[in-house]
Structure 1
Amino acid sequence: MTIKNINPGIAMGTCLVIDRQTQIKPPKKDLAHELNRYYQAKEEIITSLVQNQTANPHETEIKEVQLALIKDPVIEKEVVERIKRQDICALDSVDEIYEKYVQFLKQSQDDYLKERTLDFVDIKMRLINQMYDDVAEDNIDCHTILVSKHLYPSMILNMNALVKGVISFEGSSLTHSAILVREKNLPYMIVDSIDAKTGDYLIVDAFKGIIHINPSEEIIKQYMDKIYQTNQIEHVEYKRENYHLGLNISTKVDEQTLKSSNNDGVSLFRSEFLYLRHQTFPSRSEQHTIYEHLLKHAYPKEVVIRTYDIGDDKQLQTDQISTKGLNLYFNQYKEVFELQLDVLIDLYQTYDNLRILLPMVKDTSELRLVDEIVNDLKDNRKIPPIGIMLETKEAYEALESFKGVDFISIGSNDLGEALFHMKRDYIKDFNEYVELMAKPIKKINDFSKKHQIACTVCGGIAANSYGIKRLLELGVTSFGVPTAFINEANLAIQRHEKSIEKK
């Protein structure tokens, strides 16, 4: 068994398998339950699509296509037969059958048919998410280790608090799901296979890359002692004024974390997870409450709130977006963007520690359009500093044109994908990835220093012991890291300072 540690830590609990790669078949007596799980999820999605009618003809067309797909009798027959004949779970059957059609359409020479792959993927994901919610509610009543082929952001956002560790068969340390797992401080491993089944007792050691299946009482006691030792916080001292170490968060965090002296505020609040959690954009009052909580309890420390980063795996299940970028703000999401900006500008009148971050910027023409929207909303109010997340190839190549921005945040995950075509799901050698990213990060950091622009590295590269060590060596002094990595990041800075003193 090959094991890759994604988020370090130790977790103990009962195994819950929700996917196929473990090659575990449910007993015959569970087949009726699996069939019911599929039918129930299907009906709930159909009801949702029918009830949420819209006057927008494009949205109506998409929903009609999705209704046709989920009602398709041929697909339903294949899913049901697969569950019955091969004794596999509903999640597995839906995943395999819909994926078969996705791969078929991808090979088509017809552009229209190729576009339909997104509909199949979307319906598959909706079914899986619906059935996953059922699994989470029905089966988790004790400390649990979740075992799944894929990890999707919606899984993590809605995850039962009793889940203490995660094992998956696909992914990498840079996926959005991995980022969310780190924020929850859950030990996380990626493996190629595992002999465990639902109900087994597991110990996940994501420090050493070990999984114990049904361990002895002696081993359990040893790991309970290790967990206690791991939770002891080491005292850290370094010249804090020379560095900035903020939190990367996607959910509301407690007052104690925001006020803690071990961080310098919030370097990145991913606001898109507000709509991913409930599959609808939050209202003005909901946004105001959440943002104010961060600003009030972190004050006077800075809080950087990124406007909605829409697209890829961070879109509503009813949407069909194949692109990302600020252009979405100027077209179908203009009202959503304007409302978010208006709420943030309003809060800045009381909390001057607010900073606004724009994702996926490509060129300065987009910033001028944002300025126009901001000026229309201004209404004699003060405007907070507005920075850019530098994570596109276009922005990197036009770096010199961004001398006038208030601050820069380097999104190393997307930037690496844009510059080197490195899909975050398939990065095998993280150290090699760090070395590849060293040059562009140094270039951006040096540019920022030259023009006195605050620059922070916020991607997964900073949330890794080797990664943050290399960034410090490159001269980077500002980082955004998950809450779970904050103590390790402080230690890394302390070690870096001591190494400089010895020279």
Structure 2
Amino acid sequence: MVVCQGKSVLKGIAIGKIYLYEKQEYVLEQKQVADAEAEVARFEAAKETAIGQLDDLYEKALAEAGEEQAMIFDVHKMMLDDGDYLDAITGLIRSEKVNAEYAVHTTGEQFAAVFASMDDDYMKARSADVKDISGRVIRILAGIGDGSIASEEPVILLADDLTPSETVSLDKSKILAFVTRNGSANSHTAILARSMNIPALVQTDVELLKEYHGMDAVVDGLDGKLYLDPEEAVLAELVQKKEACGRERAELEKLIGLDNVTRDGRKINVYANIGSPEDVDKVLLNDAGGIGLFRSEFLYLGREDYPSEEEQFEIYKEVLSRMEGKKVIIRTLDIGADKQVDYFKLPKEENPAMGYRAIRICLDRIDVFKTQLRAIYRASVYGTAAIMFPMIISVKEILRIKEIVEEVKAELTAAGIEIAPVELGIMVETPAAVMISEELAKEVSFFSIGTNDLTQYTLAIDRQNQSLDTIYDSHHPAVLRMIRMTIENGHKGGAWVGICGELGADTTLTKTFVDMGIDELSVSPTYVLGLRKAIREI
């Protein structure tokens, strides 16, 4: 038995087998081949494998997202069978006697450049598709996996670290728990683990040994331990611990259907944070009053190109419809910092957390911003939608946002598209926003305090820097005073105020927030009932 210590992200017990998640690096090289026909045959075999993968992806997307979303994989299949594309690859292999990987890459880049230069927007978008299918064939030729989990049973994922994009791309139904050697308990990957309601450990002192792959293991999120090949007595004890967690959960489920009301009659809205439509199941299961934070940026991660207006519309429509009139607050695109997306081509920054991110990108790339706003307003008739804008530091930004919103509404109305009233609010996550919060409140309907970034900026501590985790203190008096000031000033300016950061789930502070006058707390779905219990005991 090997026992490893880590930092717990979510309490709970997971029992299963280890799946060693290794990132395979590939460096493209141009090589000469002796037998061009054998290389052509190798390429054609890889192409057939790729078509099989696309068939599987089509069926998965059809079941999970509908025919419209699945059609992209049919498009990829057609492009992969395009005569000109295939002739260019095989011709290059035969004429230059080069390896198939190089021929596919070169041809893909050439075809992508042609599509990108076209005037038609639809044809321009095919540029990314060519790169995607070429990359798929190259990975098959090179024997590189696609990052999927090759296991029939759910597993405990063991990795050096995981980016938000990787976390989003993984098949969640196959994951019992995350365990990483690196990473921060305050990262977005950790936040995703909490939203998935699975135990997770970061900064774990475990070696990534191949012999661990397939080994029986237990993740103890209560004590922050990983047990590899646990002894029989230890396993029996952990099974009992897991059963106790189940009993505790059963007690909390007795609160389903009850109000979030303190003993002296104060009502607090308890909402849930989500990152995808799949998370709505957990929101409904845990009886949240609404969605206080829909992290829309996760729709942009794990893909090769921008999500279209139609794609976003269908997703927002699905979430709003399933919530049946309960409020859904959609945060506009919050890309940047630790959430990097290649196709955005963001500049390299020394300090990205304080750089070109969130609303700063949206107010610079108006077309991207308007696409998202159009999708939200089109979907607004299917439920109760609200929009909040991240990383606000000035009244000037809000005024510009409201101008763009009015333009979008006017365009949709002129096109005969029905829209519904949508509440507008902002994230308060910078000291600047706190200090002018009374003025900001006059321009919006609500505030949602992002305690993760507010703590980071108030304490001047990078929340991704694991070496600073010991001094990252979200209970710091300065942070709590910032929250109190925001609530008081928000109410003075006529806005209701909520908290959507991870601190909202900290039940040791629930009474403090209620005493401050908080109107709403939005947390990962798994924390909703525990928070309800804490509120009802105040």
Is TM-score (shorter-chain normalized) higher than 0.5? yes
1:6 correspondence with 2:9: yes
d(CA) in 2 for partners of 1:9, 1:453: 37
> What is the SS of the residue equivalent to 2:522?
strand
User: Structure 1 residue 227: deviation in Å?
Assistant: 3.0
- In structure 1, the partner of 2:434 is 396
2-structure distance, mates of 1:261, 1:165: 20
**Corresponding residue SS for 1:151:** coil
- How far apart are the structure 1 equivalents of 2:522 and 2:144? 31
Q: 1:41 to 1:401 in 2, by over 3 A?
A: farther
State the shift of 1:304 in Å. 0.2
Match of 2:289 in 1: 264
Contact kept? 2:286, 2:526, Cα under 8 Å: no
Bigger Cα displacement from structure 2, 420-429 vs 148-157: 420-429
Q: How far does residue 167 in structure 1 lie from its aligned partner after superposition? A: 1.4
Structure 2: which 5+ residue stretches go unaligned? Answer: 31-100, 119-137, 350-355, 414-418
Structure 2 counterpart of 1:451? 493
Q: Does 1:246 align with 2:249?
A: no
Q: TM-score, normalised by structure 2?
A: 0.68
Return the offset for 1:487: 2.4
Alignment partner, residue 38 of structure 1:
26
Name the counterpart of 1:151.
162
Residue 432 of structure 2 aligns to a residue whose secondary structure is helix
Whole-angstrom distance in 1 between the partners of 2:213 and 2:29: 22
Match of 2:250 among 228, 233, 256: 233
CA distance in 1 between counterparts of 2:291 and 2:170 reads 23
Q: For the residues of structure 1 that align with 2:29 and 2:164, how far apart are their CA atoms?
A: 19
Is 1:211 aligned with 2:226?
yes
Residue 411 of structure 1 deviates from its aligned partner by 0.9
Mapping of 1:387-426 within 5 angstroms? 387-404=425-442, 405-425=444-464, 426=466
Give 1:278's aligned residue. Answer: 303
User: What is the alpha-carbon distance in structure 1 between the residues aligned to residue 186 and residue 144 of structure 2?
Assistant: 24
AA aligned opposite 1:422: I
Larger displacement relative to structure 2 (264-273 or 318-327) = 318-327
Rounded to whole Å, the distance in 2 between the matches of 1:278 and 1:413 is: 26
**Equivalents in 2 of 1:276, 1:133: separation in Å?**
21
Deviations 1:254-303 (A, max 9, x none): 66544457211100001111110323222222112111111112122110
Deviation at 1:49, TM superposition (A): 6.0
| 1:317 aligned residue | 342
Q: Which amino acid aligns with 1:247?
A: A
Question: Aligned partners of 2:456 and 2:308: how far apart in 1?
Answer: 33
Residue aligning to 1:75: none
The Cα offsets for residues 105-133 of structure 1, whole Å up to 9 and x where unpaired, read as: xxxxxxxxxxxxxxxxxxxxxx99xx999
- 1:176-187 aligned at under 5 Å gives the runs 176-187=188-199
Alignment of 1:80-479 (within 5 A): 134=145, 136-137=147-148, 139-160=150-171, 161-194=173-206, 197-231=212-246, 232-234=249-251, 235-236=254-255, 239-240=260-261, 242-253=267-278, 256-260=281-285, 262-318=287-343, 319-321=345-347, 322=349, 323-331=356-364, 333-351=365-383, 353-379=384-410, 380=413, 382-404=420-442, 405-425=444-464, 426=466, 427-429=468-470, 432-436=473-477, 437-468=479-510, 470-472=512-514, 474-479=516-521
How far 1:218 moved relative to its partner? 4.6
Indicate how the Cα distance of structure 1 residues 242 and 2 shifts in structure 2: closer, same or farther if over 3 A, else same: same
Deviates more, 1:426-435 or 1:200-209: 426-435
2:177 partner SS:
strand
Q: Residue in 1 aligned with 2:64?
A: none
Deviation, structure 1 residue 378? 2.0
Residues 314-372 of structure 1 show CA distances to partners (whole Å, capped at 9, x for unaligned) of 232132244114232232x2112112111222222443x11011111121111111122
Question: For the residues of structure 2 that align with 1:422 and 1:133, how far apart are their CA atoms?
Answer: 37
Larger gyration radius, structure 1 or structure 2: 2
Q: 1:9 to 1:398 in 2, by over 3 A?
A: same
Q: Secondary structure in 2 aligned to 1:174?
A: coil
The superposition leaves residues 377-431 of structure 1 with CA deviations (integer Å, 9 ceiling, x where unpaired) of: 2235554111111112332232232132111111111122222211112352488
Structure 1 residues 173 and 305: alpha-carbon distance in aligned structure 2, compared to 1, 3 A threshold: same
**What code does the residue aligned with 1:233 have?**
A
Q: Distance in 2 between matches of 1:210 and 1:469?
A: 31
- Quote the Cα distance in structure 2 between the aligned partners of 1:185 and 1:225: 20
Give the counterpart letter for 2:323 in structure 1: A
The 3 A distance-change label for structure 1 pair 143 and 344 is closer
Deviation at 1:221, TM superposition (A): 4.3
Output the TM-score relative to the length of structure 1: 0.72
Matched residue type, 2:213:
T
Residue-by-residue CA offset, 1:184-232 (whole Å, 9 max, x unaligned): 1121112341256323221011112232211134543443444344234
Give the residue type in structure 1 aligned to 2:361: L
Q: Secondary structure at the match of 2:523?
A: strand
Contact persistence 1:431–1:467 (CA under 8 A): no
Kept in 2: contact 1:391–1:415 (CA 8 A): yes
Query: Structure 1 pair 471/199, CA: closer, same or farther in 2 (3 Å)?
Result: same
